Chains A and B, each alone.
Chain A
Amino acid sequence: MITSRPFLRFPPAFAALFLTILSAAGLRAADLKELWRERIKSVVAVEFYVETENERRPTVTSGTVIDREGTVILQPAVMPNYLPPSQFKDFRVYRPGVPVSNFAKAEYLGFDGATGWNFIRIEASGRDGLVPLTDFAVKEAGDVGVAEEVWGIGLRGKDEDFEPYFLSNRVGYITFLPHRTAIALDHVCAPQLPVFNRDGVFAGLGLAGFGESYYQYSRTERGSPILLVSGDEARVFRVASEVLPYLGRVPKSRVGRPTPWLGVMGLQPLPVDVAKFLKLENQAALVVSEVLEGGPADQAGLKDRDIIVALDGQALPRLKPAGVVVGWLEREIALRAPGAAVAFTVLRGKDRLDVKPVLQEEPKTLREAERKYFDRLGLTVREFLFVDAVANRIKQSERSGVATHYVKSNSPAAAAGLHAEDWIREIDGVEVKTFADAVAKLEAIDQNQTRSEFVLLISRGGETAVLRVKLR
Chain B
Amino acid sequence: MSRKLRRGNQIAATRWRRPLSLPLYWRRKDAAGGRLRWVRLILGAALGLFFLGSPLQAKMNAGFNRLLDAVVRIDVREFAFEEGTKRYTASIGSGVILSEDGLVLTNAHVVSPRAVEINVTLANLEKVGATLVGWDHWTDLAVLRIDVAEVKRRGLKFTHAKFGDSEQLFPGETVYAVGTPHGLERTVTRGIISNNRRYFEDTTGVRGYETGTFNTWLQTDAAINPGNSGGPLVTESGEVIGVNSRAYVGADNLGFAIPASVAKQISAALVRDGKVTRSYLGLVPGTLQDLETFYSLKQGTGLLINSVDAGSPAARGGLRAGDIVLSINGTAVDGRFPEQLPPIQNLIASVPVGSTVKLVVKRGEQTTSYAVATEKLESRQGEEWVFEKWGLSIQKVSRAYAREHQLPDSSGLLVVGVQAGFPAAVSGLARGDVVTKINQQAIETLDVAKAEYDAFVAKPDSILVEARRARRVALYVFKP
Contact = CB atoms under 8 A, between A and B. Distances in A.
Interface of A: 265-266, 268, 270-271, 273-274, 276-278, 287-290, 304-305, 307, 349, 393, 417, 426, 428-429, 453, 455, 457-458, 460-468
B428 interface: yes
A278 B5 CA distance: 44
B477 A274 contact: yes
A199 B280 CA distance: 77
B284 A463 contact: yes
A277 B462 contact: yes
A271 B428 contact: yes
Contacts of B476: 271, 273-274
Interface centre among B308, B322, B440, B479 (most CB of A within 10 A): B322
Given A271-B476, A464-B307, A466-B291, A429 B364 contact: yes
A202 to B, nearest CB: 39
Given A463-B5, A464-B306, A467-B7, 4 more contacts: A271-B428, A277-B462, A461-B4, A466-B321
Interface string B281-325: 000101000110010000000001011101000000000011000
A387 to B, nearest CB: 13
Interface stretch (B82-90, B182-190, B332-340, B466-474): B466-474
Given A393-B406, A429-B322, A457-B321, A466 B474 contact: no
B291 A268 contact: no
A271 B322 contact: no
B2 interface: yes
Nearest to B289: A468
A462 B311 CA distance: 12
B204 interface: no
B472 A463 contact: no
A305 B7 contact: no
Contact of A455 (B7, B291, B440, B477): B291
A464 B473 contact: no
18 contacts: A266-B471, A266-B473, A268-B474, A271-B427, A271-B475, A274-B464, A274-B477, A289-B474, A305-B466, A417-B5, A429-B364, A457-B321, A458-B5, A463-B3, A463-B5, A465-B7, A465-B307, A466-B321
Contacts of B284: 463
B479 A273 contact: yes
Given A289-B471, A453-B294, A462 B321 contact: no
A464 B475 contact: no
B399 interface: no
Nearest to A461: B4
Contacts of A429: 294, 322, 364
A305 B404 CA distance: 23
Contacts of A460: 4-5
B432 to A, nearest CB: 15
Contacts of A265: 471
Interface of B: 2-5, 7, 284, 286, 290-291, 294, 304, 306-308, 310, 321-322, 364, 403-404, 406, 427-428, 440, 462, 464, 466, 468, 471-477, 479
Contact of A464 (B2, B321, B472): B321
Nearest to B286: A466
Nearest to B462: A277
B45 to A, nearest CB: 41
Chain A interface main SS type = strand
Nearest to B465: A274
A274 B475 contact: yes
Contacts of A453: 290, 294
A409 to B, nearest CB: 17
A266 B291 CA distance: 42
A276 B284 CA distance: 48
Nearest to A268: B474
B306 A466 contact: yes
Nearest to B323: A466
A429 B7 CA distance: 18
A460 B7 CA distance: 13
Nearest to A416: B7
A139 B440 CA distance: 51
A457 B322 contact: yes
A468 B4 contact: no
A426 B464 contact: no
A467 B3 CA distance: 14
Q: Which A-B residue pairs are the 5 nearest by beta carbons?
A: A465-B5, A464-B321, A266-B472, A273-B477, A289-B473
A290 B286 CA distance: 34
Given A277-B462, A462-B406, A468 B294 contact: yes
Contacts of A455: 291, 294
A417 B322 contact: no
Given A349-B440, A429-B364, A464-B307, A287 B475 contact: yes
Contacts of A465: 5, 7, 286, 306-307, 321
A429 B440 CA distance: 47
Contacts of A276: 477
Contacts of A290: 471, 473
Contacts of B466: 305
A468 B291 contact: yes
A277 B321 contact: no
